[in-house]
Amino acid sequence: MLPQEIIRRKRDGETLDAADITAFVNAMSSGSITEGQVAAFAMAVFFNGMKRDEAVALTLAMRDSGDILDWSDLPGPAVDKHSTGGVGDNVSLMLAPIAAACGAYVPMISGRGLGHTGGTLDKMDAIPGYRSQPDNALFRRVVHSVGCAIIGQTANLAPADKRFYSIRDVTATVESIPLITASILSKKLSAGLNALVLDVKAGNGAFMAKTRDAVALAESIVGVAQGAGLMTTALLTDMNEPLALAAGNAVEVKIAVDFLTGDKRDSRLEDVTLALAAEMLVSGKLAANHKLAMEKAREALHSGKAAEIFGRMVAALGGPTDLMARPRHYLPVAPITREVKAPALGFVSSIDTRGIGVAVVALGGGRIRPQDPIDHAVGITDLQPIGARMEAGEPIALVHARSDDDAAAGVRAIEQAFSFSERKPRTVSPVLRRVGG
């Protein structure tokens, strides 16, 4: 196998056969091809795409590059959810324990931040002591005993995707439907799931800004997954504004703790979380229909059972035993905060959501290079939603930064991201449509 020949053929728009794709993935996994060759292949796919059979072959090759878990000994279904990435999207932190509280088992293998979007794994790493990359034995014990575990890819789960993922992040090749499809599904198929639910974002803060592109991505993932034997459905959700009222790592963990304990719940975040929970319960055959599934999920949240499970999961994976009671005691806090103020009386009419995500990366809450460390404390909180009525000088957000210069840059970025109007704008439901099933 000559990697440059495979790159050339895809560059020229040819269809690759499964054997060549598998050979390239095996070389990527073993390290026998360079980062430049992987990047060139990603760029060729970005511009020329892949047919369904090519995407299936890429997905299966990356799945087979490592271990495949077996959850057949669980007393209930192994189900999971994946988001295509957004800003202020901390749904996984609440969704996993809600589903577990309803009888599902959620072995959630999550990723780090990609481009301007936050990563679930980076959020969990903000919790002191939390082991986000345990060995498989501990992972299995926690899933069995608690009902859910949110972890990252271990070295033995889809290792080819792990390398590919980090290279795509820094080579402007993230927004490719077949590469996103293969990346998501290689991890989920290696996790040995019975069912999968997708949260596919659409809007100016999503990788797929246009709804038609998000639909195409959802249909691609659902089609490839079901072709591989995994029951999969998708919800399209709105990402024309941050989902949570904060963006960052520790700040989003705090939002999740408040949500689960009932201290504070934003309606948009609750709508998306419970809709995805209902999909998981129906797909896992834990509820007969979506109405009953929604009732079951809402009860798990409001009863406090989901909060109790999240706390147990954190403790079982090395985190503090009393995080739910004392999150401020444990989560890191940035030394400098700056208010961002509304310029005049009016309504928030639109938000450049991608700009918010880029601002968090610039503060240190994301990566420019794969090896860059994350500053878990920095971020943006108290983000006002579209439709909020603001007085002149009233804060529309709060920037949490490591230095005065970073804080000033963050304030400028948020000012540029918010637009205002004299009339209240029309707002949309955060759940746009369903694909698959």
Structure confidence by residue, pLDDT tens digits, 247-257: 999 999 999 99
d(CA 51, CA 53): 6
pLDDT digits (tens, 9 = 90+) for 248-288: 999 999 999 999 999 999 999 999 999 999 999 999 999 99
Among the residue ranges 40-44, 163-167, 237-241, 377-381, the one predicted with the least confidence is: 163-167
Which pLDDT score is estimated for 155?
65
Average pLDDT value for residue range 323-334? 97
pLDDT at 383: 98
The set of catalytic residues is: 80-83, 120, 168, 183, 187-188
Two structure tokens written together for 68:
């495949």
Can you list the domains of the chain with their CATH numbers?
3-63 (1.20.970.10), 79-327 (3.40.1030.10), 333-421 (3.90.1170.30)
The pLDDT value recorded for residue 437 is: 62
pTM for this prediction: 0.88
Contact assessment for residue 429 and residue 405, using Cβ atoms and an 8 Å cutoff:
no
pLDDT tens digit string along 152-200?
Answer: 877 687 889 989 988 997 898 988 889 989 988 998 898 899 999 999 9
At 10 the pLDDT is 97
Task: Note the pLDDT tens digit of each residue in 11-66.
Answer: 999 999 999 999 999 999 999 999 999 999 999 999 999 998 999 999 999 999 99
Instruction: Report pLDDT for 76.
Output: 96
Least reliable range by pLDDT among 229-233, 371-375, 397-401: 371-375
Whether residue 381 is predicted with pLDDT greater than 90 in this model: the reply is: yes
pLDDT(101) > 70: yes
